[in-house]
Amino acid sequence: MDKLVIEGGKPLSGTIVIQGAKNAALPILAASLLGDGVSKIEHVPHLLDIEVMLNILRELGCRAEHKEDTVVLDTSAVHTSHVPEPLMKLMRSSIFLMGPLLARFGEAQVYLPGGCAIGERKIDLHLQGLKALGAEIEEIGNRIICRADKLIGADIHLGFPSVGATENIMMAAVLADGRTTISNAAREPEITDLQHYLVRMGAKIMGAGTDTITIEGVNRLTPCRYEVIPDRIVTGTVMVAAAATRGSVVLQRTQPAHLTSLIHVMRRSGVQIIVDDDIIRVDGLVRPRAIERIVTAPYPAFPTDLQSQIMVLLALADGVSIMKETIFEGRLKHVDELSRMGADIRVDLNAAFIRGVPRLYGATVEATDLRAGAALVIAGLAAQGRTIVEQVHHIDRGYEKIEVMLAKLGATISRSLPVPNNS
């Protein structure tokens, strides 16, 4: 398994351009199945999860090419709506295929998905939504078979504003008969991006970004060209890394409006942030101040996907901070690893009590999931001495060549590949 080797203690400095958003690109690629023909999706990052999604689409009969940051996808020869189990298990986002396959082909056969081990991650809301649209759903072991001759619009209230369930229901409802409303819908920017894409394909949807989404079903959708939004979590990760290393970084091709809660927290902690159109400049010249309490919650509140990264800044801050994780129950695993680096953090149920220390020290640590891994990289950049981050494949699911991106900002970071076993 690859490792990242980081010689820490150097302030990051320079300019980088932010990659396209993984969490927007994945449902958009799945939604391409709703049309018959060639779509061109731009600003798609080269990531493991994207590769898995393209491989699944190829298994279904699509032709897919990912060159530079553009995916060209031809859906005209799709011959099956059965997603193979081994591919399904590689990532949770494979569940996005259920809505579009059902809507276009009247049937979808999928398996319980895999993904980061950060909590239970049920799919009951996805299934309830599709049932409300008239799908018959049979669960045999971990196999899920959905069928519907014709989906019918319905009023669907989500018990929790699940991002994935909102997206799956949107993708199924665009080809249903009549009107669907989703209330208590998730409001994340990736949902708005999916709406923009579907509208460009000819769908009639409004309301994304609010808690009520209304969809008037249409008979067919047409493939189109589309550009994915910038990745707000990668943007946030680099912003925190700049501040934690007391560096100065300019981030280009961002959407600052998608990061309001992070910008607010970082400014309160004393980090200088200047926003100008799609550019964010971060200066972390002084020791950060503690933040008395941060609670992760659905957008627009503080994102769970930036919880582990901001914790590194708080671990180095002056004073005691409290971080409460409310979205995923298993998402404080980085605390043990940060403690090995000298952080003073105590966990009680879903809350972390962080007493800032003046510095962290390099250590060998393990990325337990995608965002926890990103946090350990930030900690390694800020720490004194050498840090080795193991299980980098988790980080590769969401960050395009993270070591190349950070080296451009002056970090001393390299990937150590496994030594081939010749015996």
Question: Among 17, 23, 8, 38, which Cα is nearest to 92's?
Answer: 23
Site for ligand UD1 in 147-166 (CB under 6 A): 160, 162-165
Q: Can you tell me which of 237, 304, 307, 309 binds ligand UD1, judged by CB under 6 A?
A: 304
Does 132 bind ligand UD1 (CB under 6 A)? Our answer is: no
Q: Least distance (Å) from ligand UD1 to the CB of residue 268?
A: 22
Q: Exposure string (b/e) for 135-162, b if CB count within 10 Å is 16 or more?
A: bebeeeeeebbbbbeebbbbebebeebb
The catalytic position among 62, 116, 146, 224 is 116
**Does an H or E element contain 156, and which?**
strand 155-157
Does 305 bind ligand UD1 (CB under 6 A)? Our answer is: yes
**Which residue in the shown chain puts its C-beta closest to ligand UD1?**
164
Q: Least distance (Å) from ligand UD1 to the CB of residue 325?
A: 10
- C-alpha triplet 18, 22, 27: angle, nearest 5°: 140
String of contacts with ligand UD1 for each residue 175-194, x by CB under 6 A: -----------x---x----
Q: How big is the chain by its Cα radius of gyration, in Å?
A: 22
Q: How many residues bind ligand UD1 (CB under 6 A)?
A: 24
- Evaluated on CA atoms 199, 202, 203, 207, the torsion sign reads positive
Q: Least distance (Å) from ligand UD1 to the CB of residue 417?
A: 27
Q: Can you tell me which of 29, 64, 87, 123 binds ligand UD1, judged by CB under 6 A?
A: 123
Q: Which is nearer to ligand UD1, 119 or 319 (CB)?
A: 119
Q: Which is nearer to ligand UD1, 190 or 366 (CB)?
A: 190
Q: Which is nearer to ligand UD1, 4 or 186 (CB)?
A: 186
Q: Least distance (Å) from ligand UD1 to the CB of residue 186?
A: 6
Q: Which segments of 256-370 are extended strands (E)?
A: 272-276, 279-283, 294-295, 320-324, 344-348, 351-355, 364-366
Q: Which segments of 45-118 are extended strands (E)?
A: 63-67, 70-74, 107-111
Using the rule CB under 6 A, give the single segment among 121-129, 219-227, 338-346, 351-359 that binds ligand UD1.
Answer: 121-129
Q: Least distance (Å) from ligand UD1 to the CB of residue 353?
A: 22
Q: Could you tell me if 174 and 215 are in contact, meaning their C-beta atoms sit under 8 angstroms apart?
A: yes
Does 396 bind ligand UD1 (CB under 6 A)? Our answer is: no
Q: Which is nearer to ligand UD1, 245 or 308 (CB)?
A: 308
Specify the 3-state DSSP secondary structure of 403.
Answer: helix
Q: Exposure string (b/e) for 193-223, b if CB count within 10 Å is 16 or more?
A: bbbbbbbebbbebebbbeeebbbebeeebeb
Q: Which is nearer to ligand UD1, 155 or 344 (CB)?
A: 155
Q: Least distance (Å) from ligand UD1 to the CB of residue 275?
A: 23
Q: What is d(CA 370, CA 391) in angstroms, rounded to the nearest whole number?
A: 10
Whether 224 sits among the annotated catalytic residues: the reply is no
Tokens of 213: 């989404």
Site for ligand UD1 in 308-327 (CB under 6 A): 327
Does 122 bind ligand UD1 (CB under 6 A)? Our answer is: yes
Residues in Cβ contact with 353 at an 8 Å cutoff, skipping those fewer than 6 apart:
320, 321, 322, 345, 346, 347
Cis before 300 (ω within 30): yes
Which residues of the chain form contacts with ligand UD1 (CB under 6 A)?
23, 26, 92-93, 119-126, 160, 162-165, 186, 190, 303-305, 327-328
Q: Which residues are catalytic?
A: 116
